[in-house]
Amino acid sequence: MIIKDEMQLTEAVLAETGRADDPRFREVVQALIRHLHDFAREVRLTEAEFDASISVVARLGQLTTPSHNEVRLMAGSLGLSTLVCLMNNGTEEQPTSANLLGPFWRQGAPVMRSGDSIVRSPTEGPPLFFSGTVTDTSGRPVAGAEVDVWHASPNGLYENQDPGQAEWNLRGRFITDDDGAFSFRSIKPSGYPIPTGGPVGDLLTTLKRHPFRPAHIHAMVYKPGLKTITSQLYSHDDPMLDTDAQFGVTRALIVTYVRHEVADEPAPAPDVSEPWYTLDYTFVVEPGEAWLPTPPVSAKAVSA
């Protein structure tokens, strides 16, 4: 088709997608084309703005490495990650514990025994003893589910970002027992700023938004026959709950850490001589496809 004007251009591009064999692929691509063209027309995108936009997209890819995923970080900062999660998991009547994957999951964390510690190198922070249960939407326990957990160090860095942390520090996988239960020891997580050295940081600065995430623990629940979910548990007293830089906080995932004083109640481990915390949470999953997402990161950062 010889192009006559801007509206006919959209028609021409859409016409060229009609030969795609996969109907779902064709639907998604055609919708993408329509929305992109409508967006450009709505804001009357200038050539200089288009050039700057292309540079941002290129930089997102250039800054995505085996130990850092700028693209997923941007999706979270625009609320797209949470939107996709909310559209695809549970219902208002039967919600699940699904939440953001985040940009720091690593596939292949060591499988551990229930009750083991995921602290693999000296890591400051109050001791935490976590007890979890996995159930279906009817409340029945799910035995044999793999629960992959990970969280940041109180210095604000995940193990893969920090050469000073041991390999797999604050990461581990656990298998639920016949009652759907598992447990582990760690340290109470803290809030932290997301990386701001790329386009995500530029966006937040321009919008006068802070880069902080509230304190949270990640978990991914996997078992064939059930839909794989990733979840994040957010501390109830974190001041950033209402302004999470990644828009991840939902009401059902706000949890309360219970503080214990050693003088009043001995900790479950004899080496604890300071105040310690417990956290209990039940993860709810639903029937569906069990699948593992593409890891946002696949390697640990190394010092120069």
Query: Three-class SS string for the chain?
Result: CCCCCHHHHHHHHHHCCCCCCCHHHHHHHHHHHHHHHHHHHHHCCCHHHHHHHHHHHHHHHHCCECCECHHHHHHHHCCHHHHHHHHHCCCCCCCCCCCCCCCCCCCCCCECCCCCECCCCCCCCCEEEEEEEEEECCCCECCCCEEEEECCCCCCCCHHHCCCCCCCCCEEEEECCCCCEEEEEEECCCCEECCCCCHHHHHHHHCCCCCEECCEEEEEEECCCECCEEEEEEECCCCCHHHCCCCCCCHHHEECCEEECCCCCCCCCCCCCCCEEEEEEEEEECECCCCCCCCCCCCCCCCC
Is residue 84, in this structure, part of any structural domain at all?
Answer: yes
Is residue 186, in this structure, part of any structural domain at all?
Answer: yes
Q: Please name the residue that has the structure tokens 């779902």.
A: 24
Q: b vs e for 136-154, b when ≥16 Cβ sit within 10 Å of the residue's Cβ?
A: beeeebbeebbbbbbbbbb
Structure tokens, 176? 């639920």
Is residue 218, in this structure, part of any structural domain at all?
Answer: yes
Kind of pairing between the strands at 171-175 and 212-213: unpaired
| CATH number of the domain that residue 120 is part of | 2.60.130.10
Is residue 298, in this structure, part of any structural domain at all?
Answer: no
Q: Is 281 helix (H, G, I), strand (E, B) or coil?
A: strand
Rg of the chain on CA atoms, in Å: 22
Is residue 24, in this structure, part of any structural domain at all?
Answer: no
pLDDT score for 303: 57
pLDDT score for 285: 97
pLDDT score for 92: 81
User: Do 137 and 286 contact (CB within 8 A), yes or no?
Assistant: yes
User: Do 126 and 272 contact (CB within 8 A), yes or no?
Assistant: no
Q: How many domains does the chain have?
A: 1
What is the dihedral sign for C-alpha 289, 230, 116, 269?
negative
Residue range(s) defining the domain that contains residue 107: 60-285
Q: Is the pTM of this model over 0.75?
A: yes
pLDDT tens track for 135-151: 999 999 999 999 999 99
pLDDT tens track for 211-247: 999 999 999 999 999 999 999 999 999 999 999 999 9
Is residue 231, in this structure, part of any structural domain at all?
Answer: yes
* Nearest-angstrom CA–CA distance, 235 and 280: 12
Is residue 46, in this structure, part of any structural domain at all?
Answer: no
Q: Which residues of the chain have pLDDT under 50?
A: 304
Is residue 223, in this structure, part of any structural domain at all?
Answer: yes
